[in-house]
Structure 1
Amino acid sequence: IFFFRFHRSPAEEPHILLECDSSVLDSIQQHLKLYKIRRKVTISPCPELSLWAVIPGDTSSLPKCADQALLLTPDPRAEVMGWRLIAKKGADLSEIIPGSQVGDVQDYHRHRYKQGIPEGVKDLPPGVALPLESNLAFMNGISFTKGCYIGQELTARTHHMGVIRKRLLPVTFPGPLPPAGIPEGAEILTQAGKRAGKFRAGGGELGIALLRLAHLQEPLCIPLAGDRVELRATTPEWWPKGAAK
C-alpha cells in the first residue's frame, strides 16, 4: 500500500490517494470505514485514474515533463524501481514523458522480481509475511519511531537484535520449467535435502522466495513430480551492505 498526498498546504482540503492491490480493494475500503466513525471523510475508488511505473533510465528531466500527470514521484521503496506516475485514463504517455516506451505489466513484474521487490498479496500474503523477512525495513515500509501497530513489539525487538534468519530473495531458474510453472508455496531444498525455504511467486524464469540466509550460497532445488527444478538465489545490489549476513 502506498499513500500519496495531493494537497500542497494545510490550508487546502486534504486529499489522500491510496494505491493498493486491486484484489483487496473492497476489504481495504471496509477496513478504512471502520475508523471513519463520524468524521466527514469520503472513501471511494478512483476508476478515472491510471497508474504507471516508470522504470529507471534517464530520469533527470522527469519532473519537468509531467504537466499532464496528476502525480509523478520517486518510488518510495527503492531507487531501482524508478518513479510512480498517476494520470487520467487515456492520457498520452509520450507527451508526459517524451521518448518513453510503453511496455506491459509483465515487463514491470519481471523488473521487480529481478530486483527482489515484493508487491501485493501474492508476494506478501496477509497473516503470513513478516515485515522484516519481507525486507520492508529496506524499502521505507517500517517505522521504528512511530507506534502503535500490530506486531510492533516483535518487529522492533527483532530489528534491534539484528537476527533475521530468513528473507525474501530474488531467484532465477536456469533450466526448463514444468508446463504448469512453479506452484506458489513450493518447498525449496538444498542438494542435501535440507529445507531452505519456500517459493513465494514469480513469472517465467524469475521469481521471489523466502529463504534461510544460511543456505543462500548453496545449490537449491524444488522437488516437483519426481523431478528437481534447480534455482539460484542472489542478494540484490540495492540492499544495504551486510544485510544478507
Structure 2
Amino acid sequence: MNISKNLKFLRLMRVCGRNMSDLSHPPNIAPAPQAGRRSCTLEQLKNRELIRVHGSEVVPFLQGLVTNDVTRLQHPEGPSSIYGLFLNKGGRVLYDTIIYRTNNPETYLLECDRDASSEFRRNLRMFRVRKQIDIDSVDDEYSPWVIFTKNGGDGELVHATHNLPELFVASDPRLPSLGTRVLAPTDISWAKLVKGFWQNNEVVATPATADNNYQLLRYKQGVGEGVQELPPGKCFPLEANADFLNGVSFNKGCYIGQELTARIHHSGVIRKRYMPIRLTAPLGSNHTVQSVAGANLGRVFGHAQNRGVALLRIEQVLNGQQELTVDGDRCYAERPEWWPRDVPSKRRVASIE
C-alpha cells in the first residue's frame, strides 16, 4: 500500500464528493454461511485512529519512546507492523499503539485510541525537540478495520485474495487470534471491502453484532486496549502482558520508562496481570474484584455482555481456591490460553531466591 502517495489524492476526492452515506455502512441483514464456505466478521474500528509520523529521523525518534524495537520495521524481511507501548518516566503505560510501516521509509502510521488522539500527538510533539518530524492525524484519509473469525485468527482468509492496492493488510502483531488489521481509505464502503477481498465468494463476511464483535473477542483473550482499559499511569507494561504480546524488546537501547521495565523483567516479580473475566450478572458501579472474605484482588477495566478484562493479582486468583466476586456477584477469572505455561509468580521467584 502506498499510503504516503495516496494522501493528497484521497483528500482531493473527499472534497470532490463521497459515496452516499448509506453505502458506508454494512447491510442490516448478514448473509448466512453456506456449506463449504468459511465465515468471518469484518468490522470498522471506530474507536481507533491513525497518526502519521514523518521525517528523516523518524526511526530514532520512535525508538527512544516506544517499548518495542522499531528498527525491525526497516528490514525487508521484517514485520509490517509491531505492537508497542508509550510509557511515562515512572515506567507506567500511557498509550498503546500498533505501528505500521509504509512504502515511504520516512513515514510510519501509529494506531491509537481515538479518545486519546490529541493527548497522544501532544506527547509525541513534546519529545521531538529539534528533530524534523511531522506529526498529524490521517483520520480523514484512512481508517482501521479488523477481520476475524468467531474463534479468532486465521489471517490466511485475506492475505491471498485481496486485490485492492489502496489497502494495507497485516496480521495483528499481538496474537493471531485477534485477526487481521486492514487500513482502508475512509470513504470506502463495507460492501466494496468484502468484494475486494473475496471476488469468488469463497468466504462469507458478516458485519459485527452485539454477540460477535472485536471488543468481545479481545475480552475473551484478556487483551486490554485504549485509555479506558489501560488507564494512563495505572499499570506497568508487563502487567498489561506486553512481554507476552510481542510488545516489548529487552535488547534495544534506552527509551522512556525502560529502566524500571527491565528491572521488573529481570526480577521476575510481576504480581498483577490483565486476564479475561467471566461475569454472572450485569456489572454495576463497583468494578473491584474481591474474594468472599472481602480482600481486593483487582479491578475490571472493560466489560460487555458477560465478558470483561481485569487487572488481577496472579497468585491469589490463579493459585488460590477462593471464590471471586464483583459488585456482590460471582465471577470467574480465566487463565489466557496464549500465556506461557510457566507464568512467573511471586511464590516461584521467592523459591528461586
TM-score, normalising length from structure 1?
Answer: 0.86
Q: Distance in 2 between matches of 1:75 and 1:59?
A: 9
Aligned to 1:150: 256
Q: Counterparts of 1:29-48 in structure 2 under 5 Å? A: 29-46=121-138, 47-48=140-141
**1:195–1:26: structure 2 CA closer, same or farther, 3 Å change rule?**
same
Q: Distance in 2 between matches of 1:144 and 1:110?
A: 31
Computing the radius of gyration from Cα coordinates, the structure with the larger value is: 2
Q: 1:111 aligns with which of 217, 231, 251?
A: 217
Q: Distance in 1 between matches of 2:105 and 2:293?
A: 61
CA drift at 1:110: 0.5
Flag the structure with more relative contact order, 1 or 2, with Cα contacts below 8 A and sequence separation at least 6: 2
1:214 aligns with 2:310: no
Matched residue SS, 2:247: coil
Aligned to 1:23: 115
Q: Distance in 2 between matches of 1:214 and 1:36?
A: 41
Q: Distance in 1 between matches of 2:311 and 2:230?
A: 10
Q: Distance in 2 between matches of 1:103 and 1:141?
A: 27
**1:17–1:203: structure 2 CA closer, same or farther, 3 Å change rule?**
same
Preserved CA contact (<8 Å) 2:154 2:179: no
The Cα RMSD (Å) is 2.1
Of all paired residues, the percent bearing the same amino acid is 34
Q: Counterparts of 1:221-236 in structure 2 under 5 Å? A: 221-223=325-327, 228-236=328-336
Structure 2 residue runs of 5 or longer lacking an equivalent are: 1-96, 346-353
Q: 1:101 aligns with which of 178, 199, 206?
A: 206
1:204 aligns with 2:317: no
TM-score, normalising length from structure 2?
Answer: 0.61
Aligned to 2:100: 4
**1:107–1:61: structure 2 CA closer, same or farther, 3 Å change rule?**
closer
Q: Distance in 2 between matches of 1:57 and 1:160?
A: 31
Q: 1:172 aligns with which of 249, 267, 278?
A: 278
Q: Distance in 1 between matches of 2:239 and 2:137?
A: 31
**1:120–1:83: structure 2 CA closer, same or farther, 3 Å change rule?**
same
Deviating 4+ runs (over 6 angstroms): none
Structure 1 residue runs of 5 or longer lacking an equivalent are: none
CA drift at 1:154: 1.7
